[in-house]
Amino acid sequence: AQKVTQAQTEISVVEKEDVTLDCVYETRDTTYYLFWYKQPPSGELVFLIRRNSFDEQNEISGRYSWNFQKSTSSFNFTITASQVVDSAVYFCALNQAGTALIFGKGTTLSVSS
Amino acid sequence: NAGVTQTPKFQVLKTGQSMTLQCAQDMNHNSMYWYRQDPGMGLRLIYYSASEGTTDKGEVPNGYNVSRLNKREFSLRLESAAPSQTSVYFCASSEAVGTSGSALYNEQFFGPGTRLTVL
């Protein structure tokens, strides 16, 4: 069975703080994809990143970075120097062969000025 | 290029009424999905269609039916709405990599959502 756990329900930070959103997944497959999505207060879902299970290289995109560790089944997301516009619900998701995406329950990030 | 479109954006139903949520994508994707989003529950898959002509149940299919009308369109029907179906419904599409039985899916593109209230 596959499962995604986002243990942090809500996180509150002050602008310019760094924040890490945790994601732990379970799968029996060796080939799978991991995703992060952002849902701002306006409600739409925005794709952020996809990671292949064979690629453990960390990814950095501007203030965003992702740390994928197969040894701990984790795919954590860090926002550096957070901004108010980063306030949103963030979802981690897993796809293994032959199934649709399974989403975690999401982490609500609130960034105050 | 509109991406994924959904209609309607808002709907209020009475218990027992029926309705169909419409979804269309113009990205030529093979796979389409219907999710519901409830507070604290994240996104839960209702049904998906890996390719035109096929549909499969997701995590929460009870009370819903779907139709993959063609490659572009994937509709969700509530035959007899219940208050428990009050939710925000999202349609999504994606491209598959590999064959249907072992396909992995590229990132999903989501529609803007339909906010449904059942009284």
- Distance, CA of A8 to CA of A104 (rounded, Å): 11
DSSP state of B54: -
Among B35, B42, B119, B43, smallest CA distance to B81 is for B119
Q: What pLDDT was estimated at residue B60?
A: 94
Mean pLDDT, residues A52-66 taken together: 86
Q: Do B90 and A95 touch (CB under 8 A)?
A: no
- Distance, CA of A113 to CA of A73 (rounded, Å): 34
Within 8 A of B56 by CB-CB distance, chain A residues are: 100
Q: Do B42 and A91 touch (CB under 8 A)?
A: yes
At position A21, the amino acid (one-letter code) is L
Q: What pLDDT was estimated at residue B90?
A: 97
Q: Is B103 part of the contact surface with chain A (CB cutoff 8 Å)?
A: yes
Q: What pLDDT was estimated at residue A1?
A: 76
Q: What pLDDT was estimated at residue B103?
A: 60
- Distance, CA of B87 to CA of B35 (rounded, Å): 10
Q: Are the C-beta atoms of B92 and A100 separated by less than 8 Å?
A: no
Number of H helices, E strands in chain B: 0, 13
Among B10, B33, B36, smallest CA distance to B23 is for B33
- Distance, CA of B19 to CA of B74 (rounded, Å): 14
DSSP state of A31: S
Q: Are the C-beta atoms of A67 and A76 separated by less than 8 Å?
A: yes
**What is the pLDDT tens value at each position of chain B, 119 positions in all?**
689 999 999 999 999 999 999 999 999 998 899 999 998 888 999 999 988 889 999 989 999 999 998 999 999 999 999 999 999 999 999 887 655 455 666 788 999 999 999 99
Q: What pLDDT was estimated at residue B50?
A: 84
For residue A82, is pLDDT > 60?
yes
Q: What is the pLDDT of residues A63-75, one digit of tens each?
A: 999 999 999 999 9
Q: What pLDDT was estimated at residue B101?
A: 52
Q: What is the pLDDT of residues A28-47, one digit of tens each?
A: 888 888 999 999 999 999 99
